[in-house]
Structure 1
Amino acid sequence: MNNLQNFFWWCAGIHKETLKKYPEEYNKYISIGATIFFTGLFAALAGGYALYFVFSGGSFALLYSIVFGLIWGLAIFNLDRYIVLSIDKTKGTFKQFLQALPRILLAVLIGLVISRPLELKIFDKEIKEHLRVEYLKQQQATIDTLNRTFENKYAAEYVQLQGLKTQADSLESSIKTDRQKLNHEIFGTKTDETSGVLGYGPYAKMKESNLQKQEIFLDTLRQRIQGKEALLSQRKVKEGIMDEKILTDKSLDSAINVAGFADRNAALSNLHKNPDGTEETSTQYAVFFITLLFVFFECLPVFVKLMSHKDAYDIAVANQNIVHHFESASNVDIEKNALNQLIPHRTDVAIQRRMDKLSQEYEAQKSME
């Protein structure tokens, strides 16, 4: 426990000898150090997963993600530790906030970047279903576009084919009507176009002969339609249009598994849109609040330091800094006086330059105070 306490103190960047004079502040700085450590650890995990997602499927994806995760986590840990150390609690709240503002802005950016891959993993099932629908729509749209292009290219052949079909449909309808009239004539059904005499008479024979001629012509039309359709099908095969087919379940699963970041990111952004055009705000809110959670977690070390009150340790450290500044200024004064005494006896250029440099340092120290 003692080693763990010292480790968290080191994470908080405290001066151990000074803190030991104030035992009542031990737990506070253990908490600050633990917050900094776990934020760095979480950043390492999130950054590692983000890179693993980018290189997923590669031979060295796991190795790259581990190395990048460690580097990213250490960078965030070191940045948090430095900014928490640099916040001077003896100054006003506004000045403390200005000191922490760069880290807060960077944390917001990091939270937005890191949260996206993890959100993609959280909503993985929903994203896959959305991609399945989108890929089917895209494939159908591709097929429709190719067919329209082919039909425009062979518009004359399609016009002829449509004319033959229209003629065949009209003739088939006419044959059905004439067949019904023939039956009425044979069975003696009285109409405006039948004699009403039962039997297979001359009028019935004439109608049947006309029907046979029409059926022969209909067969000829059907053969011509089949020949035209076969010709167009051969041209489709030759131009590769028949190779485009609706994706099967197996093909869809393969396409979804290799889907890139752009497709998954677009699917996550459109999850709140239902196929019928309505919107489901619950999913949109869920994504938004998860992003806020990551942003808050990245900002947590700075917030903890800003929210903590000024304690005896902060005052002691501030007093030590004042003493160090005073001692540094005094050393500059002493060295300056010593050089002034040497100048009457030695007027070489090197000593004069040294005195000018010390004077500049002294003025800089005074302006800082």
Structure 2
Amino acid sequence: MAEKILLYCSGVNPSVLEQIDSPPEKQKYAAQGASVLVTSLIATCSGSYALYAVFGTGLVAVPLGLFWGGSILLLDRLMLMTMRKRRNKPLAQMAIAAPRLVLALFVGLTVSKPLELRVFQAEIQQADHISIISTLKEERATLEQAKKNAEADAKEALKTANQLDASVIPAKRASARDYRKAAAQKTREAAQLDKRITEKNNALSTREKINPKEIKLTLLRQVVILEHLAAVEPAVRYTGWVLSTLFVLFEILPIVSKLMAKYSVYDAALENLETTGIRLQEKLREVSVEQIDRESLMVRQYREAIAGMVRDEMIRASQQQVISIVRDIERVPGMAVRQAEMTEAVVDRIAAEIKNAVDTPTNSHQDKAASTWDFSALRRKLENLFWH
């Protein structure tokens, strides 16, 4: 059972493989199927983790991850099925495999990225935790500096107002009120900044108590942090390259192994099967053309036979009509002598017309309706000719 599953994953033709009955060939293609199956399992885990980071629930992530892994398996199997090992054609083989290698490269990178995020999950969570704490401290420091500036401005304005109150000049004493208003405004600003500083301290205290492993990050946030870590830490960058290369190699391994393999008995049997199938189809097409020609000849002969029967029947009917008309004029004096001559002339003329009308559409292979003969009109013409 396991061997059948692996052979299915490899995209091999089981009937051809059974005919050649070669254990080494079965082992080779079973190994290729194992690599495809492993890649699909990795893709399932990778897709499930990536979707869990997006939806936050395994009820959605697991089924979609299985669908993703199954899609990768079918795609890899399709690429292997469409590759044919040709005898003494390495360049053509490389040209056929090049698009599949590029596709396998992209699939490998797509599969490796979510697993790379999973490998560095602890570092990503820690970096995010430290980044948020640093941001809160920077914001708190900015607010504290703004508070100090506001308090200093309020103190300076209040000092100036006191100095102006001591002046003997009325205009200066009047301007002291403006300085006192400015000092009050700065004092209110300092009080508001103090509240915001208290909020930042509370948020910072709460954040510092959180365990970084309990932090839930979106997929995009994880990618951004990982790219930042890779730019700062060479070890993270090199490890990411190694993981990506490993999964890419897993993905392209079946195709590369098929390119590197020698022309085998299975390849020869499959090529022979394809050649035989093509010849069989060509032979069937030739037989179909011959059958159509025979049927066309039979139809043409049938039409000619029908046309002859119709022609003979119409001639016979016309002869009877003419004879009956001519017999009616025996009572006319002097016409009995010409009866036989008239009958023969009229019958020959009608027979010629009928034969021409019937044979013309048959010989030209066109479906034309035969002319309709009005014997009653012919009878009236002959009666008028002989009686008047």
TM-score (norm 1): 0.64
Cα distance between partner residues in 2 of 1:249 and 1:284? 33
Q: Name the stretch that deviates more: 72-81 or 130-139.
A: 130-139
Higher relative contact order (Cα pairs below 8 Å, separated by 6+ residues): 1
1:122 is matched with 119
Q: Does 1:63 pair with 2:21? A: no
* Distance of 1:261 and 1:255 partners within structure 2: 16
Q: Find the aligned partners of 1:72 and 1:288 in 2 and give their Cα distance.
A: 23
SS at match of 1:107: helix
Q: Distance in 2 between matches of 1:110 and 1:159?
A: 67
Distance 2:34 2:5 in 1: 9
| Matching of residue 309 in structure 1 with residue 262 in structure 2 | yes
Alpha-carbon spacing, 1:336–1:272, altered in 2? closer, same or farther (3 Å) = closer
Aligned mates of 1:80, 1:265 — CA distance in 2: 27
Matched, 1:343 2:263: no
Give the counterpart letter for 1:266 in structure 2: V
Q: Tell me which amino acid in the other structure corresponds to 2:85.
A: K
Q: Which of the numbers 244, 249, 273 marks the counterpart of 2:200?
A: 244
Residues 262 and 29 (structure 1), Cα distance of their counterparts in 2 relative to 1, 3 Å cut: closer
Deviation at 1:161? 6.8
| Contact 1:84/1:302 (8 A) holds in 2 | yes
CA contact (8 A) 1:53 1:117 kept: no
One-letter amino acid matched to 2:191 = R
* Cα deviations by residue, 1:33-74 (Å, 9 ceiling, x for unpaired): 222222222221221122122222xxxx11212211211111
- Matched residue SS, 2:93: helix
Are 1:263 and 2:260 counterparts? no
Partner of residue 84, structure 2: 88
Q: Does 1:41 align with 2:30?
A: no
- Change beyond 3 A, Cα 1:262–1:75: closer
TM-aligned CA deviation for residue 102 of structure 1: 3.3
Which residue identity lines up with residue 70 of structure 2 in the other structure? L
Does the 8 A contact of 1:131 with 1:256 survive in 2?
Answer: no
Secondary structure in structure 1 of the residue aligned to 2:229:
coil
Residues 141 and 250 of structure 1: is their aligned pair in 2 closer, same or farther, counting only changes over 3 Å?
Answer: closer
- Does 149-158 or 83-92 show the bigger shift? 149-158
Question: Cα offset for 1:111?
Answer: 2.4
1:310 is paired with a residue whose SS is coil
Letter aligned with residue 65 of structure 2: G
Contact (CA 8 Å) 2:85, 2:93: kept in 1 or not? yes
Amino acid across the alignment from 2:192:
K
- Find the aligned partners of 1:119 and 1:310 in 2 and give their Cα distance: 38
What's the CA shift for 1:146? 4.8
CA distance in 2, matches of 1:107, 1:233: 61
Listed as ranges, the matches of 1:111-190 within 5 Å are: 111-146=108-143, 156-157=153-154, 159-160=156-157
In the alignment, what sits opposite 2:52?
52
Counterpart of 1:235 in structure 2 is: 191
State the partner residue of 1:324: 277
- The aligned amino acid for 2:22 is Y
Cα distance in 2 for residues equivalent to 1:29 and 1:258: 43
> Structure 1 pair 26/259, CA: closer, same or farther in 2 (3 Å)?
closer
Quote the offset at 1:140 in angstroms: 2.8
SS for the counterpart of 1:245 is helix
Aligned to 2:9: 11
- Which position in structure 2 is the counterpart of 1:98? 95
Structure 1 letter corresponding to 2:76 = D
2:15 maps to a residue whose letter is: E
% same residue: 26
TM-score by length of 2: 0.61
Q: Distance in 1 between matches of 2:281 and 2:225?
A: 61
Distance 1:116 1:162 in 2: 63
From the two aligned structures, give the one with the greater helix fraction.
2
Contact 1:132 1:256 in 2 (8 A): no
Distance 2:155 2:278 in 1: 93
Equivalent residue, structure 2, for 1:108: 105
Letter in 1 for 2:157: Q
| 1:139–1:246 Cα contact (<8 Å) kept | no
> Quick one: distance in 1 between partners of 2:206 and 2:261?
57
2: CA distance between counterparts of 1:112 and 1:158?
62
Picking from 69, 74, 78, the partner of 1:78 is: 74
Closer/same/farther in 2, CA of residues 121 and 8 from structure 1, 3 Å limit:
closer
Correspondences of 1:20-35 after superposition (within 5 Å): 20=18, 21-35=21-35
CA change 1:105–1:73 in 2 (3 A) is same
Looking at structure 2, the residues matched to 159 and 128 of structure 1 have their Cα atoms a distance apart, in angstroms, of 46
| Residues in 1 aligned to 2:158 and 2:244: alpha-carbon distance in whole angstroms | 59
Q: Distance in 1 between matches of 2:214 and 2:152?
A: 37
* DSSP 3-state at the match of 1:270: helix
Q: Compute the RMSD of aligned alpha carbons.
A: 3.5
Where does residue 209 of structure 1 map in the other structure? none
Of the three residues 235, 240, 243, the one matched with 1:287 is 240
